[in-house]
Structure 1
């Protein structure tokens, strides 16, 4: 007997929406040097938040959270290595590829892992779980400050930390990655998750109100609420590895195409 599907968007649908918007955003990023209009960038503003939500859902339901973190870490390393190779052979003016969403997702997932340790402390009353939880939450931020100190002092050993370990302040979305553990805490209340997104979007909007519709377009992340509210809670079609391949591949390909055109 076939089980009736819930109405709404599946995880697969959310990923497709995110991938399409992300691709449009990165077309703007790579071709901005050749005059791609600024408004194209607007399509990408909800993307990070949407993938944060997808990650919260994935982390909440995965049977092996350590393996989940390892996949993100391998993605981070692969992205860094591939980007180094691409930029060795191609250049696009003064623009360097700084994209690595695996940094954001790993730091956010590690923070969620830390929250799980706090839950274990609540159940078992063992102090080690508090310590482990704090390490998961704070270590990427502390090491970020150490690596930034290396940048200011010219210490290559400290700078290279960010190439090996995903660090908060080196993430594409910086401190905003901690929206993920907030949504993880609120995972049983979709409306409160959306409210947390709206609050962060409001902070971006009012941080530079005069330029909000132009240079400070991150407030448009609020539009991620629409597909999130339409989410049915169902996984949908399998798409486990596609994102891990598509994300770095499309950035490298767009960069190479833009480089060839720009330097022709």
Structure 2
């Protein structure tokens, strides 16, 4: 029996932990802005989405069941939407708005990766239905985004927040994603999953766009450092840790901020 010896560099577990720590610091800034939290705390969060996008590409590429992987993210996306809505309603803390739902970004990304697989399989087997299904599935979150202005302009939907909440919770619209069009980086990273240098070049190019737009999101470029150090190993298992930690730490920080503000 052979035992895999750890390689030098960072494992998938390490990348997740780096992302979680940076995300936590970023959310401290988000929740404590009413108390004058310094803007530089927000800088720590700029590489986070990119790290999680990269990890999702790795996870989707190696999972035993891509449909189960997607199902977990979809259920988490829906639950997170209702969770933040209920939390805001119960606490009534208007100083902080909860728009956090990385699960939406990751689900849309996996949907597009699944669409790429479907398209490639269709090309290899000359199956027109699969080719068309792949194209349709890839475009779906983009096309569904066209519903956003229609929903926002509908008096019936605007007046009934629960109706908008239900639609936004269940329907994977790209424009409602926390990182918006930056989510398209996920399928790009997936296409280049066998070439780390090209992946890092893509990240650098997207960062350059944000730099010229004057957005601090250009700091996502620093995600390249741990990604280049990735050794291809899974590391310690933490399959469900993030699914629990993500909503839990947001709730704790939000409740603490609301409590301190009230007192």
TM-score between both structures, scaled by the size of structure 1? 0.94
Task: Give the secondary structure class of the aligned counterpart of 1:44.
Answer: coil
Give, in whole Å, the separation in 2 of the partners of 1:182 and 1:70. 22
Deviation at 1:85, TM superposition (A): 2.0
Give, in whole Å, the separation in 2 of the partners of 1:31 and 1:95. 8
Deviation at 1:33, TM superposition (A): 1.6
RMSD across aligned positions (CA): 1.3
Moved segments of 4+, more than 6 Å: none
1:261 matched residue in structure 2: 260
2:9 matched residue in structure 1: 8
1:163 matched residue in structure 2: 169
1:64 matched residue in structure 2: 65
Q: Which whole-Å deviations, capped at 9, do the CAs of 1:190-226 have from their partners, x for residues lacking one?
A: 0100000000000000112xxxxxxx21000000000
Task: Give the secondary structure class of the aligned counterpart of 2:146.
Answer: helix
2:160 matched residue in structure 1: none
Q: Which 10-residue stretch deviates more, 117-126 or 90-99? A: 90-99
Matches within 5 A, 1:76-115: 76-115=77-116
**Structure 2 residue 74 is the aligned partner of structure 1 residue 73:** yes
Task: Give the secondary structure class of the aligned counterpart of 1:219.
Answer: helix
Task: Give the secondary structure class of the aligned counterpart of 1:256.
Answer: helix
Q: Is the CA contact 1:148–1:159 (under 8 Å) kept in the aligned structure 2?
A: no
Matches within 5 A, 1:90-239: 90-156=91-157, 160-208=166-214, 216-239=215-238
Deviation at 1:6, TM superposition (A): 1.7
Q: Which 10-residue stretch deviates more, 84-93 or 14-23? A: 84-93
TM-score between both structures, scaled by the size of structure 2? 0.94
1:20 matched residue in structure 2: 21
Q: Which whole-Å deviations, capped at 9, do the CAs of 1:54-82 have from their partners, x for residues lacking one?
A: 00000000111000000001111121222
